[in-house]
Amino acid sequence: MKATIHQPNFLPYLGVFHKIKHCDLFVLYDVAQYVRGRFDNRNRIKTQNGPTWLTIPLRVQDSFMRRFFEIPLPPDIHWRNKHLRTIQQNYSRAPYFRMYFPDIERIYSTPHGSLAALGTAFIEYLMRQFAIDTPVVKTKDLGLDLNLKSSAMLIEILKRVEAHDYLAGASGRKYMDPDLMEREGIRVEFHEFVHPTYRQLHGDFVPSLAAIDLLFNEGDNSKSFL
């Protein structure tokens, strides 16, 4: 069985969904430590003035050195309303905006107990829209030793889910020990993703945006781009 592992990032880009689609199992790495400045709590959408960030304004005291499932969302609703206004202002003329925006509003409006919970809700929603039926397992439910680091943690996760093949992200080369994983009986493959071009609003095509950009612009046809 081939598995992939990824954090429940907020509104991921298409490469994450391409990776999930080409595996037998997707492990949501919700026990990963949050790192400020990455894509953990933010991603970009397209506007008339170029890409802009949608960022969940996590408080330092709530997020520093904490794991995705431990991090509470900001208690006020202002950031949620700001995100929704920004999305509406920039995608209201997209061909499929009216079809999907109510779902996006619902996910934002539903109380989520953590950064992991909100990220997971968006990921699972987008998987359904992209017709990706890969089963999902959450690492929080695996009873892991959270003191394990990098490759040792990955090996333990993959053994728990009985996966012998691992589809790693390209950035895995920076922190993972493929030789160690091979010695543990896990074959490592690095994900190769060529970003598709699809119709967009607001001028020249911009890749690597939040995946809702594809959904609003291509609707049910979105799944053909993955």
Q: What is the pLDDT of residues 78-110, one digit of tens each?
A: 999 999 999 999 999 999 999 999 999 999 999
Say how far apart CA 118 and CA 126 lie, in whole Å. 13
Q: Domain of 153?
A: 2-225
CB neighbours of residue 50 within 10 Å: 11
Q: How far apart are the first and last CA of the chain?
A: 21
- What is the number of structural domains in the chain? 1
Residue the block writes with tokens 């699809």: 198
Say how far apart CA 184 and CA 152 lie, in whole Å. 10
Rg (CA), the chain: 18
DSSP state of 13: B
Say how far apart CA 69 and CA 140 lie, in whole Å. 8
The per-residue pLDDT string of the chain (226 residues; one tens digit each, 9 = 90 and over) reads 999 999 999 999 999 999 999 999 999 999 999 999 999 999 999 999 999 999 999 998 889 889 999 999 998 889 999 999 999 999 999 999 999 999 999 999 999 999 999 999 999 999 999 999 999 999 999 999 998 988 999 999 999 999 999 999 887 777 788 889 999 999 999 999 999 999 999 999 999 999 999 999 999 999 999 9
Say how far apart CA 92 and CA 98 lie, in whole Å. 7
DSSP state of 147: T
pTM comes to: 0.96
